[in-house]
């Protein structure tokens, strides 16, 4: 009995020893560190491609898969070597690599599309700016329209900087603002065209009445056509002299209040001849505002077009220091100093001065 027990005990020990030797010499599973490093690399490449912005869903999924694979690998590392199994960790990390690469691809495709779109939109805005510039240069100065053009031009310059930085969505948003500014510009120009169509008959009548009065009395008169930047001296209804002139910096509009930079439109007369003491060489002071201007000013106040605190303004003159070939005055008509010397030989207090935005009948 004892011998049998000893035999069994020896057999068990031999089995245990043999099993230990087998375990000792079995290959041990290695943690998938290479897969983890590849996952990190793929994730970094996705981040550089701006996948968080342009492919957020696969980017977030890749991030989650990588973290799960990392945690699973750490969990297996904490087990006895005999019981370690890295298959799940390997699968998670492999899937993380594939998903990160897909996120990077989607982001790169989106970037390429937005790059192309932004550059195309930028080129369109540049073309529209050029066309609007031609329209503005061929017309009287509309201060608000010029401001909208400047805002659109600034948007174009900002978009070019954003495109160079790769910030394509921001560039497209900036371009959209620029195009909106141009739409407002076109609306203003269309409103000016409608305004001219309604008033051209009145301007023709003013010119005809001024010429008829000059012809009937055989006296001098002055007519200013803003659209062609010309000042005409007439006597007995006939043209004596033509002068180029500069106007207010907002010349496309009739003056409605002080400080708007517009040259008034109406029938006026000279109230003072300033041979000296003028800020701009010599000057002919006009009776702006006349009664019609005052009525229009009060009407605009009542309609809320202008503030109730606004002032109508005054001190509109034909003065010197002109010849700058641009509209720069506060609303006056500017001739060169030599032209002021010439016109003041014939114009006196009471001489009619008619200012129109456009007259297509004379001279």
pLDDT of the residue at 22: 44
Q: For residue 283, what is the domain's CATH number?
A: 2.40.440.10
pLDDT of the residue at 7: 61
pLDDT of the residue at 42: 93
pLDDT of the residue at 6: 65
Q: Does 274 map to a domain?
A: yes
pTM: 0.75
Can you give the chain as a three-state secondary structure string? CHHHHHHHHHHHHHHHHHHHHHHHHCCCCCCCHHHHHHHHHHHHHHHHCCHHHHCHHHHHHHHHHHHHHHHHHHHHHCCCHHHCCCHHHHHHHHHHHHHHHHHHHHHHHHHHHHHHHHHHHHHHHHHHHHHHHHHHHCCCCCHHHHHHHHHHHHHHHHHHHHHHHCCHHHHHHHHHHHHHHHHHHHHHHHHHHHHHHHHHHHHHHHHHHHHHHHHHHCCEEEEEEHHHCEEEEEECCEEEEEEECECECCCCCCCCCCCCCCCCCEEEEEEEEEEEEECCEEEEEECCCCHHHHHHHHHHHHHCCCCCCCCCCCCCEEECCCCCCCCCECCCEECCHHHHHHHCCCCCCCCEEEEECCCCCCC
Q: Does 276 map to a domain?
A: yes
What's the rounded Cα separation, in Å, for the pair 148 and 135? 13
Q: Does 283 map to a domain?
A: yes
Domain count, the chain: 1
pLDDT of the residue at 21: 47
Q: Does 173 map to a domain?
A: no
Q: Does 253 map to a domain?
A: yes
Q: Does 220 map to a domain?
A: yes
What does the block give as tokens for 326?
A: 């641009």
Q: Does 280 map to a domain?
A: yes
Token look-up 């869903």 returns 57
pLDDT tens across the length of the chain (363 residues): 556 656 666 665 665 555 444 444 445 678 999 999 999 999 899 999 999 999 999 999 999 999 999 999 999 998 988 889 999 999 999 999 999 999 999 999 999 999 999 999 999 999 999 999 999 988 888 889 999 999 999 999 999 999 999 999 999 999 999 999 999 999 999 998 898 899 999 999 999 999 999 999 999 999 999 999 999 999 999 999 999 999 999 998 889 999 999 999 999 999 999 998 789 999 999 999 999 999 999 998 898 888 888 899 889 999 999 999 999 999 999 999 999 999 999 999 999 999 999 987 666
pLDDT of the residue at 138: 82
pLDDT of the residue at 4: 64
* Domain range enclosing 305: 200-356
pLDDT of the residue at 163: 95
Q: Does 277 map to a domain?
A: yes
């Amino acid at each position: 009995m004892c011998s049998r027990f000893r035999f069994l005990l020896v057999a068990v020990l031999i089995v245990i020893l043999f099993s230990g030797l087998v375990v000792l010499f079995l290959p041990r599973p290695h943690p998938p560190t290479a897969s983890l490093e590849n996952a990190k690399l793929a994730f970094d490449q996705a981040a550089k491609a701006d996948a968080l912005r342009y492919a957020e869903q696969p980017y977030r999924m890749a991030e989650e898969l990588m973290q799960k694979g990392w945690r699973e690998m750490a969990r297996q590392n904490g087990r006895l070597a005999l019981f370690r199994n890295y298959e799940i960790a390997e699968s998670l990390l492999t899937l993380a690599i594939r998903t990160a690469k897909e996120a990077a691809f989607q982001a790169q495709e989106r970037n390429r599309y937005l790059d192309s779109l932004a550059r195309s939109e930028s080129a369109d805005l540049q073309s529209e700016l050029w066309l609007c510039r031609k329209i503005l240069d061929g017309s009287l100065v509309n201060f608000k329209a010029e401001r909208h053009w400047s805002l659109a031009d600034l948007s174009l310059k900002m978009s070019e900087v954003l495109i160079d930085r790769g910030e394509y969505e921001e560039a497209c948003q900036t371009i959209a603002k620029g195009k909106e500014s141009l739409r407002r510009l076109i609306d203003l120009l269309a409103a000016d065209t409608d305004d001219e169509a309604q008033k051209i008959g009145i301007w023709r009548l003013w010119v005809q009445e001024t010429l008829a009065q000059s012809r009937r009395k055989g006296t001098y008169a002055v007519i200013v056509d803003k659209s062609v930047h010309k000042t005409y001296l007439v006597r007995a209804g006939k043209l004596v002299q033509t002068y180029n002139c500069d106007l207010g910096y907002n010349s496309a509009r009739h003056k409605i209040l002080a400080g708007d930079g517009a040259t008034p439109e109406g029938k006026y007369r000279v109230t003072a001849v300033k041979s000296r003491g003028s800020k701009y060489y010599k000057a002919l002071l006009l009776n702006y505002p006349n009664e019609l201007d005052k009525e229009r000013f009060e009407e605009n106040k009542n309609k809320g077009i202008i503030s109730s605190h606004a002032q109508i303004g005054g001190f509109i003159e034909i003065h010197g220091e002109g010849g700058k070939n641009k509209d720069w005055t506060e609303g006056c008509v500017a001739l060169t100093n030599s032209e002021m010397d010439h016109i003041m030989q014939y114009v006196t207090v009471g001489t009619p001065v008619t200012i129109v935005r456009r007259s297509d009948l004379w001279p």
